[in-house]
């Protein structure tokens, strides 16, 4: 099993909240069979705590979350 934490810090609480709320729906609705992810907001940080069965599962899960976060940031910048 692979376990870890990634914290992404944003310039302020407002941007962090927008990103968090944008990704939250995906977090709640996408089923993962080989990994688990806790997704939370702590002040100006989005925190991803993960547990994966193997490297492939970890990579797939993290890529999904990072892509969703990138899309949310792109929208904020508009």
CATH number at residue 68: 3.30.310.50
pLDDT tens for the 78 residues of the chain, in order: 999 999 999 999 999 999 999 999 999 888 878 899 999 999 999 999 999 999 999 999 999 999 999 999 999 888
**Full domain range(s) for residue 66:** 2-77
pTM: 0.87
In the prediction, which pLDDT does 52 show?
A: 94
Q: How many domains does the chain have?
A: 1
For residues 2 and 55, is the Cβ–Cβ distance under 8 A? yes
Task: Work out the end-to-end distance of the chain between its first and last CA atoms, rounded to an integer number of angstroms.
Answer: 39
Tokens of 67: 């892509």
Tokens of 68: 């969703």
- What is the helix (H) or strand (E) element at residue 75, kind and residue range? helix 55-77
């Amino acid at each position: 099993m692979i376990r870890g934490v990634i914290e992404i810090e944003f310039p302020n609480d407002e941007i962090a909240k927008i990103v968090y709320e944008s990704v939250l729906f995906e977090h709640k609705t996408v089923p993962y069979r080989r990994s688990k992810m806790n997704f939370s907001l702590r002040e100006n940080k989005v925190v991803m705590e993960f547990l994966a069965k193997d490297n492939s599962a970890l990579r797939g899960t993290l890529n999904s979350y990072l892509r969703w976060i990138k899309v949310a940031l792109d929208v904020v910048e508009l």
